[in-house]
Amino acid sequence: MSDNRADRPMTPSGGHIDRRQFMTYFAALSPALWAMTQEGDGRITKDMLAHAEAVAGLAFTDAEREMMVDGLNRNLEAYEQLRAVHIPNSVHPALLFDPVLPGRAPDVRRYRARRTRHPEVRRPADLEEAAFWSVTDLAELVHSRQVSSVELTRMYLDRLKRHAPKLECVVTFTEELAMRQARRADADLAQGRYRGPLHGIPWGAKDLLAEDAYRTTWGAKPYEEQVIPYDATVVHRLEEAGAVLIAKMTLGALAMGDVWFGGMTRNPWNLEQGSSGSSAGSASATVAGCLGFSIGSETLGSIVSPSTRCGATGLRPTFGRVSRHGAMALSWSMDKLGPICRTVEDCALVLDAIHGSDGKDPTARDLPFDWDAGLSPTSLKIGYYKSAFEAEHDWYDFDMQALAALRSLGVEPVPVELPDQIPVGALRPVLGVEAAAAFDELTRSNRDDLLVRQDERAWPTSFRRSRLVPAVEYVQANRARTMLMEAMDAVMDGIDVFITPSYGGSVLLTTNLTGHPAVTLPHGFRDDGTPVSISFIGKLYGEAELLAVAKAYQDATDFHLRRPPEFA
């Protein structure tokens, strides 16, 4: 970072101040202070206030400033006391977000649980042919004991080791753990204990999920050697389901983009292109046939975006459906964990294993999820995001074909529109402020300089910028968010699911703020051979219906069956 005095801000008297003084300078109007130890006495003055007001869009009189100064300096002392307390990333704020509005109850229906079975599946002559198979079919091989988990694990480990350097998709291989889990899966099966469709299936964890025997780097240089001494709930539940963890996958540093401390994760359809992020390695390796499935996370597009770029099928569950205990916190009111797979049904099988409360994540809820693979979309009320489909965009033809394919299933979707009475883009500071709080110590220690990305859109800049958002504006944004939730509740009142261009209108930001679930899957390929995607949005905790509609559409197409030529 530049230390040129000419780049520094000036005091009212015309003198330059250094970075640390600058952070105190705006303390008056930013309750989440950026200030660190100051030169001099570090006190706020009336002159500082006169300049700081512009940051918050305010104007006070000199007499009003006089009355504010002493209290603001007392606030500074309180901030310094708080900063003496180490607050781990895993500690939740006392205020919790609930996507279900007061007086409402989640519309969660019960179904007879059924998954697709393919008992006719036979082991291929070359086991590597099964690398691109769905979990549904891999499960048949393992359950029928045509293939041992040890064999399957070695096959995927070999592929991942061979292709990871090209994809730049692995932070840490967990081979010792994987082989131990695979041997246990085989021993359990030999004794008649079958844990379900994930039994013996190799998977990869986005490296913001803790596994106590291995480092958890969050994709960021400052945390490169970090070891968290417990397993994330999702990691533990997948182990209990018999799944085999073979690697910790790359993510854009601190869950942004596809650039991590070791490089840029690649799109398997075009190695000159990043895989998008932040669940970069999870999507890239799954689509390249190097994992049975993977786990990603989303705060604002981190499952949707890499699934789109790489042609994966990704599920962003309802906020609160899956415990985030043991996962890096970025935004306590927006973070969600979900599966990235090759098929919709794979996502359903993984969700079935990981959902529910655990007594550790205070936002996680116990609500039923009954996966019925045979649920017909004609039994549901389905909408389409009309203005997003009608808008001119690069994927217009593909989107129209997806809508036609849905209609060919006997469904006549009704037009819906997302709320427009709330300026949704103005709510983005909710994420920025929470992220700045999650990485407060990183900013104040200047260790944010170690992050690879250092530009105006990167986390270091965002964290610093978010320190200047007044607390009142953060609260007001959350109040407007409640109004957005109420408006979205009205949209979903008459439908179960709606189909939308993945980036149509405000759908990505709106549904991440309201906590609604989404499935993103490939629905075509451009002339350059890279995939594009369509998304389905469901009701809160309505993943059973959401996945059923998405599965019916996917079964009527073959885009998810295509393989990147370099990895086939």
> What are the residues whose beta carbons fall under 8 Å from the beta carbon of 219, sequence distance 6 or more?
171, 207, 208, 250, 251, 252, 253, 254, 255, 260, 261, 278
> Do 246 and 254 meet the contact criterion of CB atoms below 8 Å apart?
no
SS3 content of the chain, % helix, strand, coil (to 5): 40, 15, 45
Residue 195 burial by Cβ neighbours in a 10 Å radius (0-12, 13-18, 19+): middle
> Do 436 and 462 meet the contact criterion of CB atoms below 8 Å apart?
yes
Calpha distance 30→47 (Å, rounded): 16
> Do 302 and 311 meet the contact criterion of CB atoms below 8 Å apart?
no
Structure tokens at 267: 């799109």
At 15, the amino acid letter reads G
Place of tokens 């069956």: 561
Calpha distance 299→255 (Å, rounded): 9
Partners of 173 in beta bridges: 247
Q: Give, as one character, the DSSP assignment of residue 209.
A: B
In the sheet that 336-341 helps form, which strands lie side by side, from edge to edge?
170-173, 244-249, 202-206, 293-298, 336-341, 313-316, 518-525, 531-538, 497-501, 382-385, 414-416
> How many residues does this entry show for the chain?
568
Calpha distance 297→217 (Å, rounded): 15
Calpha distance 500→508 (Å, rounded): 10
Q: How far is CA 161 from CA 158, 209, 391, in A?
A: 5, 21, 43
Structure tokens at 327: 């996962």
Between CA 89 and CA 96, with CA 95 as vertex, the angle to 5 degrees is 85
> Do 282 and 296 meet the contact criterion of CB atoms below 8 Å apart?
yes
Calpha distance 263→272 (Å, rounded): 13
Q: Which residues are tagged catalytic?
A: 206, 278, 302
Task: With CA atoms as reference, report the closest residue to 338 among 307, 295, 370, 304.
Answer: 295
Task: With CA atoms as reference, report the closest residue to 552 among 530, 564, 532, 536.
Answer: 536
At 21, the amino acid letter reads Q
Task: Give first-to-last CA distance, the chain, whole Å.
Answer: 44
Place of tokens 């061979």: 162
Between CA 496 and CA 557, with CA 537 as vertex, the angle to 5 degrees is 100
